[in-house]
Amino acid sequence: MSDSDGEIPDAVDLPSLEPDEAHPEANPETSDLGTAPVPVTLITGFLGAGKTTLVNFILTAKHGYRIAVILNEFGEETGIESSLFPQTSQNAENFALEEWIELSNGCLCCSVKTEMVQALETLMQKRHKFDCILIETTGLADPGPVAAALWTDAELGSSVCLDSIVTVVDARNIRGQLAEPREDGAVNEAQQQIAYADIILLNKTDLVRGPGALEQVQAALQNINSGAEMIHTQHARPDLARILNRGTFNPSQTPNDVSHLSLQLHGAHIGSACDPSNSSASENRSGSLSQQLGGSTPQVHAATSGSEPGNSSSCSKAEQQPAMSAETPPDASMPAESMHDMGFEGLDDSGAAGATRDSQPSNHHDHLHDRGVQTHALHSQLPLHLGRLRTWLDSILWEQESSGHRIYRMKGLLQISGSPNCQILQAVQDLYDIVEGPQWDSATHRHSRLVVIGRHLHAAELQDGFLKCQ
Ligand SMILES: Nc1nc2c(ncn2[C@@H]2O[C@H](COP(=O)(O)OP(=O)(O)OP(=O)(O)O)[C@@H](O)[C@H]2O)c(=O)[nH]1
């Protein structure tokens, strides 16, 4: 699974793949996929938006394509992220589906770009084994440099082509994410990801309540990028004929054909997340994406503390407070005080953030572009008590304002007392979920690991709280 030895695993050979009758155009036997450049779909989106859920869906749906996956993850996430592909890790018969390359030494848009190009080159030596490539970026990646590398890298030549950039959006949280200030005053990652999208997958629509609330979210996204196709989904299950092998960047298209890619940034500029001091990367890049690429740079259920492990139960503070709705939107029309309370400072009418903080360089080495964002890995060798764990999670996720930290995302593999299986924890903003994973096996070191990504985190306190759940 991991490519730690430098050997690229075989691409996925999907068993019993039958041409999709509903979408005969998706049948590789009737297309020129065997000889044409391999289409690469870049899947991006903010932390927790549903990228892995989408990749999982693509890997298990019937569409007629054989898929290779390149997965970029934070170093601390190694081994956790791959466990989030339950169909592959739980079912040995389908183990062949778990064919991907993990790039975990940084963020694709920074230090791993070369590694990505090398991985693609090696993959291309097995060209006959797959029809399409998916690249899942980290939740904080700027898709621009990655797309540019795919477009311009001489080594790759014409063997691969960027098919489309799919940005998965958490419909419940996106407006707050768009409003997050960047310390250098630049456009934040969530805005960059929307701006570059060919397709915006407006996901988690089940978590947006109230008449008009979803329309408001959609309007905020269209204010940033009105050229992207908008697809509403729950659990990231779109019509894949609209996602795979679209030919968005097919060079045979006339310039008019790609004119719909024009980015409308409404005064915002796409800054380089890699290097804010790079003026060529920070200049205003309004215009078609193809021009840019050819340019200078290349349920929320009630918290049930007594529930057994394995019973999936999402918990949210929102259940105990008014749900996000048209009546209580994180909206520019709200009084500034309310927006501040909800953590939506700086949102203007366009959905763009009015970032005002002092400029600070981003940190390439920890691949977190905004220096205020940190990641911490928590560990516990001894099994955790589920009730205590839930109480602790409730406190750190639901009392964020009083504790002074801001948690965007948590994911982990947990060893819970009394359960032979590992438990998978997922948290996005104040929502969390614990579901049963596969049995611990000899290859998986049996201990709890939890990655926390957020701002103003107190590592020692978090680790201490985690250990107290034993
Ligand atoms: N309610 C709800 N939950 C969803 C939906 N889509 C995904 N989720 C859940 O949201 C959590 C995060 O989903 P992921 O697919 O791991 O998100 P991601 O974008 O890959 O996350 P990162 O890799 O950390 O950036 C998981 O618990 C999913 O089951 C949805 O449409 N509705």
**What's the confidence (pLDDT) of residue 102?**
66
Q: What is the pLDDT of residue 148?
A: 74
Q: What is the mean pLDDT of the chain?
A: 66
Which span out of 71-80, 83-92, 343-352 was modeled with the highest average pLDDT? 71-80
Those residues whose C-beta lies under 8 Å from the C-beta of residue 92, and which sit 6 or more positions away, are none
Q: Which residue is it, tokens 């500029």?
A: 269
Structure tokens at 308: 């057994």
For a pocket test of ligand 1, which of 42, 47, 53 has the largest count of ligand atoms closer than 8 A to its C-beta?
A: 53
Q: Which two tokens stand for residue 114?
A: 């070369």
d(CA 407, CA 398): 10
Where does 329-375 have alpha helices with state H? 336-341
Q: Is 330's pLDDT higher than 80?
A: no
Tell me the average pLDDT across 19-32: 43
Top mean-pLDDT range of 2-11, 145-154, 248-257, 297-306: 145-154
Res 321: pLDDT: 39
* pLDDT on residue 315: 58
355 or 426, greater pLDDT? 426
**For range 281-294, the mean pLDDT:** 30
pLDDT of residue 352: 31
Nearest-CA residue for atom 15 of ligand 1: 50
User: How much is the pLDDT for 107?
Assistant: 57
Domains of the chain: 24-293 (3.40.50.300), 372-470 (3.30.1220.10)
pLDDT for residue 249: 55
212-247 per-position pLDDT tens digit: 999 999 999 988 888 789 999 999 999 999 999 887
pLDDT band at 195 (very low <50, low <70, confident <90, very high): confident
Q: What pLDDT, in 10s, does the model give residues 167-192? A: 999 999 999 999 887 766 667 889 88
* 45 Cβ neighbours under 8 A, 6+ residues apart: 51, 139, 166, 167, 168, 169, 170, 193, 201, 203
Is 426 close to ligand 1, i.e. is its CB under 6 Å away? yes
CB of 235 sitting under 6 A from ligand 1: yes
Q: Whole-angstrom Cα distance, residue 328 to residue 117?
A: 45
Reported confidence tier of residue 464, pLDDT bands at 50, 70, 90: very high
CA 411 to ligand 1 centroid distance, Å: 10
Comparing 278 with 251, which gets the higher pLDDT? 251
| Mean pLDDT of the 369-388 span | 82
Alpha carbon distance 134, 244 (integer Å)? 9
Per mean pLDDT, which range of 232-241, 339-348, 357-366 is the poorest? 339-348
How does residue 340 score in pLDDT terms, banded at 50, 70 and 90? Answer: very low
In a mutational test of the pocket of ligand 1, which residue from 177, 207, 428 has the highest number of ligand atoms less than 8 Å from its CB? 428
In contact, 38 and 159? CB cutoff 8 Å: yes
Q: Give residue 103's pLDDT band: very low, low, confident or very high (50, 70, 90).
A: low
Integer Cα distance of 94 and 302 in angstroms: 34
pLDDT for residue 71 is more than 80: yes
CA of residue 277 to ligand 1 center, whole Å: 33
- Start-to-end Cα distance in the chain: 30
Q: Per-residue confidence at 53, pLDDT binned at 50, 70, 90?
A: very high
Q: Sign (positive/negative) of CA torsion 452, 354, 231, 314?
A: positive
Residue with tokens 């740079």: 297
Strand-pair partners of 67? 132
What are the CA-CA distances from residue 73 to residues 44, 275, 296, 308 (Å)?
Answer: 12, 20, 28, 30
- Two structure tokens written together for 302: 């009630």
Higher pLDDT, 124 or 217: 217
What ipTM does the predicted assembly reach? Answer: 0.99
Ligand 1 contact, 351 CB (< 6 A): no
Q: How far apart are CA 132 and CA 145, in angstroms?
A: 20
Cα three-residue angle 79-80-82, rounded to 5 degrees:
70
C-alpha separations of 450 from 84, 427, 456 in Å: 13, 11, 17
Mean pLDDT of 331-339: 28
Integer angstrom CA distances of residue 65 from 13, 20, 69, 122:
9, 9, 12, 20
